[in-house]
Amino acid sequence: MCAALGVALAASLGFATGASAASQNYVALGDSYSSGVGAGSYGDSGSCKRSANAYGQLWANAHSGTTFTFLACSGAKTSDVLTQISSMPSNATLITLTVGGNDAGFTDVIKTCTLGTDQTCVDRVNTAKTYAQNTLPGLLDKVYSAAKSKAPAAQLVVLSYPRFYTVPGSCNVGLSDTKRSAINSGADTLASVISSRVSAAGGKFVDVRPAFDGHNICSAASDYLHSLTWPVDESYHPTAAGQRGGYYSPLTSAIG
């Protein structure tokens, strides 16, 4: 009798009971930072490189009873995420995603900064930032609107990208501090744009940059991000530790 009254009271006050809390229908959308490139254990996901260590999979594992749909794919741009959305269930209750870096030319930025001069790198980053500020907002709006239209009851959670470097840091070789600072500024611009558009769409923005501080490239504990590595596509992507500490932890702090 007391237990029944307790459940009824919890429901009347809006608290989640164990049964309701475990009934999430969770969809992970997005690009390589959501698929888990760099974190290993890709199973049979092919070129999408969906990792068993990705933050979405970690969250699903930690919430028993969750129905998990893993659609994030390496290399995805906003147009690709729109296709992912068309494949997701309309009864989703939680959607997470990262997107925008590939639209802004992340891969070319890294290539230019690795092979070019300081000024060439700064110029390429500035071009990417201009794109992010002027063109990307409209593309993000389409993605967020499509997600909310497909699954109206879902909570939309969008995560940022990390800053890649500690500047100045412990690295004695590789890119100059000028290049490292420029690349970091690109991540900051993306975070600002994404945060603004997520808020306008009524979603939640989760900033992962603080979680990566002290664990990024050239930091004392550079264990959250790969530098230049093999396979090349895993360069500048979170390690398994980065997915857990840099993405999963901020996500759970934000939504439980």
* Catalytic residue from among 20, 32, 199, 235: 32
Query: Where would I find the H helices in 14-64?
Result: 18-21, 32-35, 55-62
Question: Up-side HSE of residue 143: CA atoms within 13 Å toward CB?
Answer: 31
Element (H, E) at 111: helix 106-115
Residue 95 pairs in a beta bridge with: 27, 156
Q: How far is CA 187 from the centre of its chain?
A: 12
Integer Cα distance of 71 and 81 in angstroms: 9
Query: 32 catalytic, yes or no?
Result: yes
Query: 222 catalytic, yes or no?
Result: no
* Catalytic residue from among 34, 160, 181, 237: 237
Given a contact cutoff of 8 angstroms between Cβ atoms, the answer to whether 156 and 148 are in contact is yes
What is the DSSP pairing of strand 67-70 with strand 25-30? parallel
Query: Which token pair is 118?
Result: 């300081």
Q: Which residues are catalytic?
A: 32, 237
